[in-house]
Structure 1
Amino acid sequence: MAIVTGASSGIGRATAIALAAAGATVIVNHFPSEDSRIDAESLVQEIGDAGGRAIAIAADISSEDQVEAMFAETLNRFGKLDILINNAGIERPAPVQDMTLANWQAVIDVNLTGQFLCSREAARAFLNHKSSERTSGAIGTIIFVSSVHAIIPWAFQTNYAASKGGVSLLMRSLAQELAPMKIRVNSVAPGAIRTPINHEAWTSDEKMAQLPKLIPYGRIGEPETSAGPSSGLRPTRPTTSRVGHSLLMVA
Structure 2
Amino acid sequence: MSNKIRAKVVKGDQVRFISHLDLMTTINRALRRAKIAIAFSQGYNPKPNVSFASALAVGLTSDSEYIDFELEKDIDIREFQESLNNALPEGIKIIRVAKIDGREKSLTSQINRANYLARLELNKVLSIDDLREKIIEFLSQDKIMIRRKRRRKKDRVFDIKPLIYNLEVVGVQDDLATINMLVQTGSSGNLRPEEVINALADYFNVIAPAKLINIHRSGLYIKVGEEILTPIEAVVKGN
More strand by share: 2
Q: Per chain length, whose mean CA-contact separation is higher, i.e. which structure has more relative contact order (CA < 8 Å, sep 6+)?
A: 2
Q: TM-score, normalised by structure 2?
A: 0.26
Q: TM-score, normalised by structure 1?
A: 0.25
